[in-house]
Structure 1
Amino acid sequence: MSEKKFLNNLPPRPGVYKFKDKWGNIIYVGASKNLKKRVSSYFHKKHDQIRLVNLVNSINNVEYEIIENIYDVFIRERTLIGLHKPKYNIRWLDDKQYPFLMITKKERYPRLQIVREQLDEENSYFGRQTQVKPLRKSLNKLRTLFPICDCKSEVTPSKKTRPCLNYDLKLCPGPCALKISEKEYNKTIADLEKFLQGDTHNIIKDWEIQMKKHAEYQNFEEAAKIRDRLNVYNQLTINRIDEDLFHFDAIGIKLQKDFGVVVKLKVVHERVIDTQEYFILDSIDQDKENILFESLKQIYHEENDFPSLILLPSVLQEQELLFDWLNFKSNRSVKLQVFSNPKDGKWTKLAEKTAHKSFIRHFKKKNDSKNDNKNYLEIEKLLKNLLNTTLNIKYISCIDISTLQGFATVASIISFKDGVPDKPNYRRFSLKNINKPDDVGSMKQVLTRHFQKKIKNAERFPDLLILDGGRAQLSAAYEVFTNLGIQIPYFGIAKKEEELVLPTQKEKIILKRNNPVLQLIVQMRDEAHRFAITYNRLKREKNSLTSELDQINGLGVKRKNSLLKHFSSVKRIKTATLDELSKAPLIHKNLANNIFDHFHKRKLNKKKKN
């Protein structure tokens, strides 16, 4: 069909259009309020982007569907894209694995947890983030404001149950031990939900009134608790504005070549309560306005909580169509506005800045990964020549044995995939019945335990195994693999001269220092050693701490665990002041004196001896 013919047949009405190639494949699907005007623009404009030029050159036919209902226009477009997956439509990176805060609403005593999937519609989900660390920090602060249970399993209350340490730390009200009524607990849950939804004004006012009443009645301890809550709230509240109860979204975008990211900041009651990122792959053009239009359709398709205003960084193509669709879908007035005053501009700039940082973080990793893969292909070829094999060597493991001053022999197994650390598959072992340094016996035990588990769980074996050691370690590996009936390529690396010891060759192999194969092997050996020695030191420190704290009168298991959780490390407990120790949970003044005297008297005794 000629270009003029199918353009003349298009009506100036709303609907969806489909571009087809000469084989009848749908290569692009779009939506418009004016089909004739929108489709004609593809052929009447000059395009600088190669993908868009290729799209237009590939169009052999145009089909359309007239749809008068604005809401149904986008529903139909989305359905067609999902069904045909056209090659020139924007592709989105899947964001289903982003973490959320979840309240288990259908339980008698709901819990607050971090999850990565919205599996149950009856639960409440809040604050999707792209990184879990900020969410964990927010969760910890939230529990000081709203003490509720965060147990992994559902709460089954019983008077016989002993509450956990979080109850003593005042992070949980102890519903499992019936320390709080169901009504009072669910009131806390309701306040938490309001807080997460941005409805904080009434909650804060109540706290301020309570604090003043406690102060008037000279109940200063309770007043101080509420003051601390308000301080935590102020830490959680960011980017304040002077406007009262107001809910709006700020949109930011960062594009480069065929990649990009669109960010939506949700601002409610003077603070950003949610940040969402949408990563774009293979967009058909670099028209920022068009990509923004496509992105907003994606973002608000499944939205239930619509803002009163959406702040945009620029005017959109088909903005009128999007405006009508948003108002129809939300059943309320939703304004689309390009920022026109400094306050609005502040939020849009923040969204643009967030988009820029997200782009750098995500696509820099992507590019670095591509470069690493190219470099590793060269290393893999050299490794194959070295080992005289044609098998792929993509997944390599390395073993190290660590003994510090004859104490606590431990081992580590680290893995690299395509030359990059595969940290989720790092393993460490506390060796049993090894009372003196015994590298060969230790190697046998580690290999046996590790590969027996892999066989039992049908897990993948490494393509290559590197042992930190020489002939003795190779003999241990040969014996274990023979007994287990498995075959894995392996060799050793001697520490002094970085020599490679192969089981099939008598002579050691010496590679130049700048050889990429040797550099990778040494990197893995050093990483395995670091992982093992860190574990060894951790065990020694833990045992040392336990034995020292056991000598302090009045310090039982519960208080010892509380002390460890509060101070985090041995050094901090030893160097803590008397006042700091007194403020620790479950530590009364007399016990704080005992702890302080225990560590500081020991220091004085050492000085006297010297």
Structure 2
Amino acid sequence: MTQQEFAEIASTIPTQPGIYKYYDAANELLYVGKAKHLRKRVSSYFSKTFTSYKTHELVQRIHHIEFTIVNSEQDAFLLENTLIKEFQPKFNINLKDDKSYPFIVIKKEPFPRVFFTRRRINDGSKYFGPYTSVVKVKELLDFIKQNILLRTCKLNLTDSNIKKGKFKVCLEYHLGNCKGPCEGLQTEEDYNEELNQLANLLKGNLSSVVQHFKKEMKDHAERMEFEKAQIYQKKIEHLLSYQSKSTVVNTSIGKVDAFSILEDGNIAYINYLAVSNGAIVQTKTIILEKKLEETAAEVLAFGIAQLRSTFGSDATELIVPFEIDYPETDIIITVPKGGDKKKLLDLSEKNVNYFKEDLRKKKMLNLEEKTADEKLEVLVQLQKDLQLPDIPVHIECFDNSNFQGSYPVSAMVCFLNGQPAKAEYRRYKVKTVTGINDFASMAEVVYRRYKRLIDEGKSLPQLVIIDGGKGQLSAAMQSIATLRGQDGSKPSAPNHPSSAGSLTVQNRLDSLTVIGLAKNEEEIFFPGDTQSIKLPWDSESLKLIRRIRDEVHNHGITFHRNLRSKGTFKNELEQVKGIGDATIDLLLKEFRSVKNIKLATVDELEKIIGKAKTKILTDYFKQT
């Protein structure tokens, strides 16, 4: 929509508060916005020059505009958030985490059950939550079970069913976890009182629950029921212990919501702490993606509305790091400078910073999600940890694979600039080795790989990882030494120009560092060293090495599986009539090669496959 086209409809735009919706020519919703004066707000998009390319692009795509008039700025604010959450227009702030959360429900039924659910049904039941962690919900339910006596069965406890004596108390009654409403041993009034205490506990109002238990304890003591009184005393101690652990600020603060925000480019992280009577009863950090030129205050206000809606907050005070325009009525906005509320805000900021840093560390395990700077950071750290002469921007890793001690193959993977370069992956059928010999197999494939790179004038890696211990590493170094011995001090492959083309083979191989990685302990060996080194288990360097190792494992196993499924592997045993695949697998698993099977005694063979099949096999060997 051009400025001239907009000018023709400007006078028709309402001047009341409301929301506006921008659509493109295909009638796709592009953007939803709120305004206390619709005409002024919408006109601003067509009367000023935007520095943001995205905003300029939005205006260019607008084909037509729709409006919804509401009674107040607050209503416009709430409607905007609802529409954004429902339709997720491409130019609005994007909530990147919008999954469903669990609830604790008090079911609407006689003697209501209390349980965990993800489905919220409008059947009159009471729902508490949502909660951000299933583990925490289950911990809370366990805590409730220890302190509030409620039934856990699914019986239909109508008054008529109870009077007819249809049910008998179960083990939970005898364990003291239920008062037996199924046999009429507990009145509905008494059961509802337990539910009231449950509701107080879920709302964080533990003092009311403690006072109720104190009254019960006193009543039992007055009736000389000291064992029952002692049970309530232990519950009180349990609750007070729970309260002392959960209280983080002064209990006089009451019910408040604390929010903090951390911006990183077009991504914003918002942390939410719901506090009731000094205890944190809910916590969540969300990620928002800014699309236009939204300020931190606008993003925070949007995030607050989303979080309060998701978690059903009715707190009337918001603690925030700076002033925001939050039009919801009867809400107090507090920007604390000191005291308990400032401590709460500091705690929220601590959480949002931890969340961002934790997310960054987790991304290190998946290099494709990293920025170029993050990838380089890991490689520099790896260079430092292994004391490499150069940053290992080119890494290769080798691994041998076999099936039940037979059919040897090898695989190689290549990582360039910290990420897989799958076009450079290689698979090798071992050619020069008879039987299973990991060391000889490793020597063969390492020689073949770098002989080819040298002949073709291609660059060699800065780091080679041999998946195995000292034996495999020594075998690989023998191949490197053989290649060095072939150096005639002539330029390598002059017809294949490369960055390494003018260097001798000796010089090129000298720039290559080879290490061995022990399979179980993740120890790293250097050639000639008697002692291994161990990197910290959570270091970014070891995480990268682990990923490369896992990649070469998967590459080799996939190759091996494909060859077996295609019938590429053939051996002499398959020619023996009366000897099936299952028997062959047993023999190879035990003896590891056909050669060893031929050398085995009759007694050794009979222990594995029995007399009949042993005779078939030995008769075949005698004829060949």
TM-score (norm 2): 0.51
Matched with 2:106 is 103
Q: How does 1:179-578 map to 2 (within 5 A)?
A: 179-212=185-218, 220-237=226-243, 238-244=246-252, 246-281=254-289, 283-285=291-293, 287-301=295-309, 306-316=314-324, 319=325, 322-323=326-327, 326-327=328-329, 333-359=330-356, 368=365, 371=368, 501-502=564-565, 504-506=567-569
SS in 2 for 1:130: coil
Change (3 A) 1:365 1:67: same
Which one of the candidate residues 163, 169, 177 is aligned to 1:171? 177
Residue identity in the other structure for 1:223: A
Q: Identify the match of residue 113 of structure 1 among 112, 115, 133.
A: 115
1:27 aligns with 2:43: no
Closer, same or farther in 2 for the Cα pair 1:173/1:84, shift >3 Å? closer
Maintained 8 Å contact 1:52/1:284: yes
Cα pair 1:20 1:62 within 8 Å, conserved: yes
Number of aligned residue pairs: give it.
Answer: 392
One-letter code aligned to 2:567: T
Query: Higher Cα Rg: structure 1 or 2?
Result: 2
In 2, Cα distance between equivalents of 1:78 and 1:342: 32
- Match of 2:345, SS? helix
SS in 1 for 2:121: coil
How far residue 205 of structure 1 moved from its aligned partner, in angstroms, is: 1.9
State how far apart, in whole Å, the 2-side matches of 1:264 and 1:155 are: 40
Judged with a 3 Å threshold, the aligned counterparts in structure 2 of structure 1 residues 369 and 231 are, in CA distance, closer, same or farther, namely: farther
Give the whole-Å Cα distance in 2 for the aligned partners of 1:22 and 1:76: 24
Q: Check conservation: 1:6, 1:62, Cα contact below 8 A.
A: no
Deviation of the 1:88 alpha carbon: 0.8
The yes-or-no answer on 1:146 pairing with 2:148 is yes
Q: Equivalents in 2 of 1:160, 1:177: separation in Å?
A: 8
Kept in 1, the 8 Å contact 2:167–2:183? The answer is yes
CA pair 127-352 structure 1, distance change in 2 beyond 3 A? farther
Q: Deviations over 1:99-125 (max 9, x none)?
A: 111111x21121111111212341111
Q: In the alignment, residue 349 of structure 1 is paired with which amino acid?
A: D
Q: Describe the superposition over 1:26-59 as per-residue Cα deviations: whole angstroms up to 9, x where unpaired.
A: 4222102244665577689997766456546656
- Against the structure 1 CA distance between its residues 28 and 248, is the aligned structure 2 distance closer, same or farther, given a 3 Å change threshold? same
CA–CA separation in structure 1 for the residues paired with 2:171 and 2:358: 38
Cα distance change, pair 346–162 in 1 and its aligned pair in 2 (3 A):
same
Q: Are 2:90 and 1:90 equivalent residues in the alignment?
A: no
Describe the shift of the 1:203–1:130 C-alpha distance in structure 2 as closer, same or farther (beyond 3 A). Answer: closer
Provide the residue aligned with 1:585 in structure 2: none
Structure 1 residue 219, shift from structure 2 partner: 5.2
Report the residue type matching 2:149 in the other structure.
Answer: P
CA separation of 1:48 and 1:58: change in aligned 2, threshold 3 A: same
Using the TM superposition, give the Cα deviation of residue 337 of structure 1 relative to its aligned residue in structure 2, in angstroms. 2.0
Moved more, 266-275 or 5-14: 5-14
State the shift of 1:140 in Å.
0.6
Give the RMSD, CA atoms, in angstroms: 4.6
How far the C-alpha of 1:61 sits from its partner, in A, is 7.2
Structure 2: how far apart are the matches of 1:50 and 1:152?
59
Could you list the per-position Cα deviations for residues 53-92 of structure 1 after superposition, in whole angstroms to 9, with x for gaps in the alignment?
A: 6546656776655544335424653565478642111222
Aligned partners of 1:28 and 1:89 also within 8 Å: yes
Shift in Å at residue 266 of structure 1? Answer: 2.3
The Cα of 1:178 is off from its aligned counterpart by: 4.4
SS in 2 for 1:89: coil
Unaligned residue ranges in structure 1 (runs of 5+)? 328-332, 388-465, 471-488, 494-499, 509-610
Does the C-alpha gap of structure 1 residues 232 and 289 become closer, same or farther in structure 2, counting only changes over 3 Å? same
Contact 2:363 2:369 in 1 (8 A): no
SS of the residue 1:275 aligns to: strand
2:120 is aligned with what amino acid? Q
> Matched residues in 1 for 2:249 and 2:312: separation?
25
Q: Would the aligned equivalents of 1:15 and 1:31 in 2 still touch at CA under 8 Å?
A: yes
Distance (Å, rounded) in 2 between the aligned partners of 1:39 and 1:363: 38
1:234 is paired with a residue whose SS is helix
CA contact (8 A) 2:81 2:302 kept: no
Distance 1:154 1:121 in 2: 17
SS of 1:148's partner is coil
Q: Contact conserved, 1:100 with 1:129, CA < 8 A, in 2?
A: yes
Cα distance, 1:283–1:98 mapped onto 2, change above 3 Å: farther
Cα distance 1:357–1:313, how it changes in 2: closer, same or farther (>3 A)?
Answer: same
CA gap of 1:95–1:26, structure 2 versus 1, over 3 A, is: closer
Identical residues among aligned pairs (%):
25
Structure 1 residues 149 and 372, CA, compared in 2 at 3 Å: closer, same or farther?
A: farther
Offset at residue 341 of structure 1 (A):
3.1
Give the aligned residue type for 2:32: V
Q: Which has the larger displacement, 108-117 or 342-351?
A: 342-351
User: In the TM superposition, what whole-angstrom CA distance separates every residue of 1:193-219 from its partner, at most 9, and x where no partner exists?
Assistant: 233234443332232344456567775
Alpha-carbon contact 2:103-2:116 (below 8 Å) kept? yes
Counterpart secondary structure, 2:349: helix
Q: What is the alpha-carbon distance in structure 2 between the residues aligned to residue 275 and residue 343 of structure 1?
A: 18
Residues 20, 66 of structure 2: 8 Å contact kept: yes
Relative to structure 1, the CA distance from residue 140 to residue 268 in structure 2 (aligned partners, 3 Å threshold; closer, same or farther) is: same
1:69-80 matched pairs, under 5 angstroms? 69-74=72-77, 76-78=79-81
Distance 1:363 1:111, change over 3 A: farther
Q: SS of the counterpart of 2:214?
A: helix
| Separation in structure 2 between the aligned mates of residue 79 and residue 215 of structure 1, nearest angstrom | 54
Name the SS of the counterpart of 2:34 in structure 1.
strand
* Partner in structure 1 of residue 389 of structure 2: none
